Amino acid sequence: MIRSSNSPLRIAIIAHSLYPIAQPYAGGLEMITQLICDELVAQGHKVLLYAHKDSETSATLVPLLTRHEFNKMVYDNEHETVSMGREEMYQYLTYQTALRDIIERDERGEIDIVHNHSLHHIPMMTGQALGERFFTTFHTPIFPQLRLALLTLRAGTTTQFTAISKHQQQLFAEFVPSQVVYNGIDVESFTANTESICDTDTSDDEVYFWYGRICPEKGTHLAMQYCIEAGKKLIIAGPKSNEDYFNQKVAPLLFKDSKSGGNKLFSYVGHVTKTEINNYLCQATAMLFTSTWDEPYGLTLAESLACGTPVIGFDAGASAEIITPETGVIVPKKDKAAFICGFNTIKNISRQACRDRALQFCSVSAMVDGYLAIYKAALKNRTALIEDNPESYVNSINSYELSDLTKDSLQFFNQAIQAPVETDNDFVSFSEES
């Protein structure tokens, strides 16, 4: 049956299984997944979210396999018989269970699109059964198991891929092509200070803000060193993700500053809330971005722009894609001289331009519109194939060969579920109220 192009889409979203898709978010991926689902539902689409049982969503939640269910499904040492770690087997069966349910729903004509955000290789392989209507988004670097799937898919697949930046797209290009859909944030949930920096800042109230996980790859100590050189005040916020790094690189600079007498440059405020981050950004002359690893996106950059706050940062990962010359200063990694020069030029940046950039480029609606465009293109192509040559289309589906790895994974899963298993949660249907 061919559905009208104006009909609401029926979309299955696969999240990762480790953490609930709920606040307080364990990380950026949890936030992005929730925002996508809630915006799709707000636009009238029907969404199933396959996620941790404690997730909170406007979509219809389909709980992933719980550890209790898993422990009843397999023997205590069964993972050893197949040379797996127990956690590895849990993840394996979790996504096989989800994909089995999705494929069965699809066979009943209940699903239009499947979008995989799991960061796991099993959905990428098993999802081949859905062809061009199955999308995987690349959120991370290429981990070993992800590479295993990519090596197989490089030989040929009709499934589709998206990347959250051009930098990320280039990283995966040697394996599969992908389309860029940038991440989005809830820009409207941030209060912005769009008053001109030149009109408000004096040497006494000029202050900069650094926030994020305090760890080597985020370069906290570099921001501090540059502020010492330039004599600039810096507020630092974030959890001590790497205690050794904090104690060896950050704490000594804090201690030295505290003993310097006169005006202190540094203030470490710990792990703060979103509201507190918003307030600090609105008061800051600029946000300092000193990440030394190539971040696939960079949510702190988008959040800073949403608050109307310019950025001085390293050219790392996607930073130059998000921060334009009108919204900040991007310099080569660890270029101290160029970074310090940025303190002089950043005041010429319009804070209103920063907010406008966030609304146009970093919003949830921009992200979801991007995904909807590629969803609809996939469905349009499929409809055209069916209308032009229905017999050929059916034959191509029937003759489609799954890879050996996918066949093996399906065989293992079918063997694992032959015995009846009591479950904590029954699967839900699109027809049921969420």
For the segment 255-284, the average pLDDT, to the nearest whole number, is 93
DSSP 21-52: SSSSPSSHHHHHHHHHHHHHHHTT-EEEEEE-
pLDDT beyond 60 at 298: yes
pLDDT confidence of 419, banded at 50, 70, 90? very low
For the segment 15-30, the average pLDDT, to the nearest whole number, is 91
Residue-averaged pLDDT of the chain: 88
pLDDT confidence of 26, banded at 50, 70, 90? confident
The neighbouring-strand residues paired with 239 are none
Residue 196: its pLDDT value, please?
A: 76
* pLDDT tens-digit readout, 9-18: 999 999 999 9
| Placement of tokens 């010429």 in the chain | 348
Cβ neighbourhood burial of 64 (10 Å; 0-12, 13-18, 19+): buried
For the segment 221-237, the average pLDDT, to the nearest whole number, is 97
* pLDDT tens-digit readout, 172-216: 999 999 999 999 999 999 999 999 765 555 556 799 999 999 999
Between CA 53 and CA 309 the distance in angstroms is: 37
Residue 390: its pLDDT value, please?
A: 59
Query: Does the pTM of the predicted model rise above 0.75?
Result: yes
